[in-house]
Amino acid sequence: DLERSIEVPSQTLQIGQLVMSVLHSWGLDPALDDTCVNLLGMLKPRVPPAFGLVTKSGFMSLFLPTWHPVKDSGGPPPAIPKHLAQHLPPEMVMLQHATQVFSSRGHWEISSAVTTQHLLALVALANTLQDRNAATLTPLKERSRRVHLNNVKSNAVSQEQDAEFRHEQSRIKQGWSTLTALHTVQLPDAVAKAGSTSYQPPLLEILARRWQNRCQEVRDAAQAILKTELVRIGKPGRQRLIEEWSPHLPTHSDPLPASTTSTNNTINQQPPANYTTNNKMSNGQQQQHQPINGTTNPTSNNVGMVNGNSNGYSNNTSGDRYQQHSSTNSTQHQILQQDMQQGVEDYQFDEDNLDGVAPASNLSSSSGIVSDSSRSTSGSGHQGVAIILLAVIGAQHGGQDEGFALGSSLAVRTSKALAHLLLSPASSRLPLHTPLRRAAIDLIGRGFPVWEPYLDVAKVVIALLELCADTNHLAPSMKYGLPLVPEADSCRTASQALTHIAAARPNVLITSMAREVARYNTLQQNAQSLQMNLHLTTLFRAKTEILRLMEYLIQHHRASIMQLMVEVMDIILHCVDTGHLRGGRPLAEVFPAVCSFSQVSHCPNTRRIATGAHAGTIALYDLRHSKCQVINAHTGAVTAVAFSPDGKHLTSYSMVENKLSFWQTSTGIFGLGASQTKCTKSFSTVPVPDIVRLNPQRFPKLVWIANKTVVLMLADGTEHRFNA
């Protein structure tokens, strides 16, 4: 068993060593080559490898690197030791030279399809090894690494040994990082410098299909290579991409399911279009998305498929493959079924399809309609690829005036297509958890500033929260490296999209969620009469994800939080367990992040929370009666609030108004009747310097030192006492 446990990892390392050694671009960077051999454990090929490519149709193309005479690259001669060069025959020296020329230059001149697959494999494996601690491809070093890590756990390693290991670990990580950078960013220039004039760039279409690959490393590699390639081709190249792929964008002329409330659809369990009633949902399911009626230019080639498969095979699957052969069905029913199945192909593309695009002769340019014989080849997956490619361009370069300006038709169509993929109910045409829907979710988050003017933000946020409702069960950790089940992958992608939205437009996210919480509270008051089960709503089930978003905003966007402090508190009190707060637990234990603001104060004795608003008001939350009272306290933004230890007094301070006030809440006899809060005293305070006003970390704070004495503490240590 011990021998087996050692051999299995060794075999895995040997496979990785073989793949990385064959695919690496030897000769482009001599210093990196030495690092790969001496430190990373890679083996330098002695003969040029022959690469092959298997298409979806089952055909294989084999590329023979030395079939034609090797042209001199003009680069440095192969590094052969002098004592060996004297004894080697000339043909061996020529073979070594041919190997170096092929590895550095000819490898990337074969085919765009080969370049795509090899770059994906190289970058994915290099990133995987870089994430590990001192991971090399040498079995002996790998065993030494594991022994050292075990000794570290048992405290059996000296400081000198640990420092040496950490130094070697940093060198190994730097080596993998340099290898990744070479094949992600520097490869085209390095190959051209080596004398190449026919570098075959990666296929953008295949990279777009891999944008949401199930394997996280392949996904990251595809995204990095695609974004780098879009930068490399420049603005003219991106413009050509837009011109050639925009005709494939679907046109969603029919409206999406109408929005009602966040509870109707959730109660009926119709994911993920959370704002749809039953009648309108069924109508939306009957509406079939029509294929595009555009044609491609017969004189232009697809930019993403330039110098594509050298074998020239194409997938000529006809639409008759999907025709229903039941003799009992009518002709009209058969046509309907055929159109529905074709709709499935419009959205479900194959990630590994390298068979190219349909020839332009199959397209009827006179009528502008795709012919039936070529419909499966020209439309299958092209709408999905067009959505991803154009959305990536809009998300990464949308602000550079490349067709995604405010109000442009391209931005409107792309955003509508992304929203359609997110909000459409699960069906046979578009299942709930597919790579295309995940790609739309991801790109909505990445390019949210571009798509926001054309989206219903509330719909989008609720739909994403619906996918994140089961975060604790599906993906408790968002840093999983292993492939997740489709449900967990969609959950993780939606959570990341919400984080992108929160980072790009924090105010929009907060106000949208606050409105939904207000709707939820209104429904909660009438839940019994409406006979609703609010525990099935999205806002109830996604409380954990909402709190995570609020904590993220508090840590990274404090200025936005301070402007919408009351709305944030409404959202937080909706998500936290108010039973703990009613039981006497302080807010600092239930949700400590929000207590870092001086505008928030909680009194465990009276079960009240005070929140100062940017508009000068104070929101008093009575947790015992689930009520909120708003007080017009100041004419400027409230800087700090604090309850007295006994809870009888509340003090507020505004450095905009330079005023400090004491407030007292009174109720009727035996606590009956409405509570009334009135100002008992007000004091003018010393003006605060502008350097303090512009730095939220230096805002003054209120500290009670007795039941009727409060201290105003400034950032420079100055204290001012006031008595109630």
pLDDT of residue 59: 86
Other C-beta atoms closer than 10 Å to the C-beta of 129 total: 23
Q: What is the pLDDT of residues 317-354, one digit of tens each?
A: 333 333 333 333 444 444 434 443 333 334 445 554 44
Handedness of CA 426, 431, 433, 435 (dihedral sign): negative
Cα separation, 212 vs 350, in Å, equals 12
Computed over every residue of the chain, the mean pLDDT equals 77
Give the pLDDT score at 663.
Answer: 93
Cβ neighbours of 5 (radius 10 Å): 9
pLDDT at residue 312, as a whole number: 34
Task: Look at residue 344 in the predicted model and tell me its pLDDT.
Answer: 34
Task: Give the confidence band of 668 by pLDDT, cuts at 50, 70, 90.
Answer: low
Which is higher by pLDDT, 145 or 134? 145
Residues 6+ apart with CB under 8 A from 524: 534
Average pLDDT over residues 297-301: 35
- Extract long-range pairs of 437-442: CB within 8 Å, 24+ residues apart: 437/490, 438/212, 438/489, 438/490, 438/493, 439/211, 439/212, 439/384, 439/387, 439/388, 439/391, 440/387, 440/391, 441/467, 441/490, 441/493, 441/494, 441/497, 442/211, 442/212, 442/493, 442/496, 442/497
Least confidently predicted of 142-151, 407-416, 477-486: 477-486
**Is the Cβ–Cβ distance between 474 and 485 less than 8 Å?**
yes
- Assess whether pLDDT exceeds 50 at residue 240: yes
Model pTM?
Answer: 0.78
**CA neighbor of 655 nearest in space, from 704, 610, 689:** 689
Q: How confident is the model at residue 355 (pLDDT cuts 50, 70, 90)?
A: very low
Judge whether residue 275 has pLDDT over 60: no
- Of 2.130.10.10, 2.30.30.180, 3.40.462.10, 1.10.30.50, which CATH number belongs to 576-667+676-724? 2.130.10.10
Residue 608: other Cβ atoms inside 10 A: 21
Please compute the mean of the pLDDT values over residues 705-712 and round it to a whole number: 92
Question: Among the listed ranges 76-80, 241-245, 638-642, which one has the minimum average pLDDT value?
Answer: 76-80
Domain with CATH 2.130.10.10 in the chain: 576-667+676-724
Distance, CA of 347 to CA of 437 (rounded, Å): 9
Pairing assessment for the beta strands 617-622 and 701-706 based on DSSP bridges: unpaired
Which residues fall within 8 angstroms of residue 26, CB to CB, at 6 or more apart? 33, 44, 45, 99, 100, 103, 104
Confidence of residue 301 (pLDDT cuts 50, 70, 90): very low
Mean pLDDT within 138-150:
72
What is the pairing mode between strands 363-364 and 369-370? antiparallel
